[in-house]
Amino acid sequence: MANISTLNTTVAGIDAVSSRLASGPRGRKPRRVLSRRNVMLYGTLIVAALYYLLPLYVMVVTSLKGMPEIRLGNIFSPPLEITFEPWVKAWAEACTGLNCDGLSRGFWNSVRILVPSVVVSIAVASVSGYALANWRFKGAELFFSILIVGAFIPYQVMIYPIVIVLREMGIYGTLTGLVVVHTIFGMPILTLLFRNYFASLPVELFKAARIDGAGFWQIYFRIMLPMSLPIFVVAMILQVTGIWNDFLFGVVFTRPDTYPMTVQLNNIVNSVQGVKEYNVNMAATLLTGAVPLIVYFISGRLFVRGIAAGAVKG
């Protein structure tokens, strides 16, 4: 009984298929925009995206409200009355300890730290990577391996010895000292980045330049440098965001009047004295996050490439 009925339905099914094959539409089955799969897929993605966007939204909204409105309303509601006063206050008047000149000081400190650190660390690392890729000497790989393993050592392990070295050199607590520190800790990843890039360039170019009599520096400046602008941009993105976002080295290696922006921000927001002004705090937080965010939105795919390069070992 059961067998016969299945057979019947199968036959009916075959009939249906063959008739559809004979006369039905050809080509791919058209996809409906609102298929269950699409709703699930985009639904999940949109919910996730909202979760990721939420804190940014809350920051912006809070920084545009006045304090009375914050006390009454909830953090998600848009501002009834937009005010830019918190931004002005965060930039020019917020207090850390006795200083009340706002985040602007931290901003300029960070800029003063950022520019030389980025330039020096990239210069040093690119030359090291170039030496490793094209002018290998005995023992070079050993030091490089130590460097790469060193990238995984927690900073806390090496901080105090560095303090001593810098103190001996007389640059502890100065801007130069911090630049040296950023150069040291940027080195593993940047050297790896440059070494792999230079090694991927055609060797024939290098050989031809050698035959023409070019030396170490000549080949670096005249051939390698002009050919590797993209990787320099990637390295720059990596360093600008990394150094701007640094907190630990800023705390350890600078003095209060030269604190970078992140340290000053933390001191402003987490200070125990005075009334908490949440709108000013959020404006200050946004101001500090603005630089890496701008770099991120402008650089787009290169940023992804930068972190992927940072992630993938050679």
Partner 1 sequence: MVKQAAAGRPNHLFRNLNSKIASIPMILVASVIFLGGTLWTVIYSFTNSRLLPRLNFVGLDQYERLWASSRWIISIQNLAIYGILSLIFSLVIGFVLAALMDQKIRFENTFRTIFLYPFALSFIVTGLVWQWVLNPEFGIQSVVRSLGWTGFSFDPLYDPDIVIYGILIAALWQGTGLVMCLMLAGLRGIDEDIWKAARVDGIPMWKTYLLIVIPMMRPVFITTLVIIASGIVKVYDLVVAQTSGGPGNASEVPAKYVYDYMFQAQNLGQGFAASTMMLLTVAIIIVPWAYLEFGGRKRG
Q: Under the criterion CB under 8 A, does residue 49 sit at the interface with partner 1?
A: yes
Question: Using an 8 Å Cβ cutoff, are 302 and 234 in contact?
Answer: yes
Q: Under the criterion CB under 8 A, does residue 67 sit at the interface with partner 1?
A: no
Total Cβ atoms within 10 A of residue 73: 14
| Interface region with partner 1, contact rule CB under 8 A, candidates 99-107, 121-129, 167-175, 225-233 | 121-129
Can you tell me which of 66, 79, 150, 173 binds partner 1, judged by CB under 8 A? 150
Can you tell me which of 51, 98, 213, 226 binds partner 1, judged by CB under 8 A? 51
- Footprint (CB under 8 A) of partner 1, residues 252-271: 252, 262, 265-266, 269-270
Q: Under the criterion CB under 8 A, does residue 313 sit at the interface with partner 1?
A: yes
State how far the Cα of 240 lies from the Cα of 111, in Å rounded to an integer.
10
- Residue 19 vs 295, nearer CB to partner 1: 295
- Footprint (CB under 8 A) of partner 1, residues 159-218: 159-162, 164-165, 183-184, 187, 191, 203, 207, 215-217
Residue 31 makes CB contacts below 8 A (sequence gap 6+) with: 38
Residue 37 makes CB contacts below 8 A (sequence gap 6+) with: none
- Footprint (CB under 8 A) of partner 1, residues 90-109: none
- Footprint (CB under 8 A) of partner 1, residues 6-35: none
The minimum distance between CB 75 and partner 1, in angstroms, equals 5
- Residue 112 vs 305, nearer CB to partner 1: 305
- Footprint (CB under 8 A) of partner 1, residues 283-302: 285, 288-289, 292-293, 295-297, 300
State how far the Cα of 136 lies from the Cα of 180, in Å rounded to an integer.
25
Backbone angles phi, psi at 152, to 5 degrees: -95, -10
State whether the Cα torsion 156-161-166-167 is positive or negative. Answer: positive
The CA dihedral of 68, 52, 296, 152, to the nearest 10 degrees, is 110
| Interface region with partner 1, contact rule CB under 8 A, candidates 1-9, 19-27, 45-53, 84-92 | 45-53
State how far the Cα of 112 lies from the Cα of 150, in Å rounded to an integer.
27
30: tokens are 């058209």
Can you tell me which of 124, 171, 214, 227 binds partner 1, judged by CB under 8 A? 124
The minimum distance between CB 193 and partner 1, in angstroms, equals 14
Short-list 295, 271, 296, 287, CA closest to 86: 287
The minimum distance between CB 211 and partner 1, in angstroms, equals 13
Question: Using an 8 Å Cβ cutoff, are 258 and 175 in contact?
Answer: yes
Question: Using an 8 Å Cβ cutoff, are 172 and 163 in contact?
Answer: yes
Q: Under the criterion CB under 8 A, does residue 304 sit at the interface with partner 1?
A: yes
23: tokens are 């006369």
Q: Under the criterion CB under 8 A, does residue 221 sit at the interface with partner 1?
A: no
- Total residues found in the chain within this entry: 314
Can you tell me which of 74, 168, 211, 226 binds partner 1, judged by CB under 8 A? 74
Short-list 27, 14, 90, CA closest to 279: 90
The minimum distance between CB 153 and partner 1, in angstroms, equals 6
| Interface region with partner 1, contact rule CB under 8 A, candidates 2-10, 48-56, 90-98, 101-109 | 48-56
The minimum distance between CB 23 and partner 1, in angstroms, equals 27
Binding residue count for partner 1, defined by CB under 8 A: 94
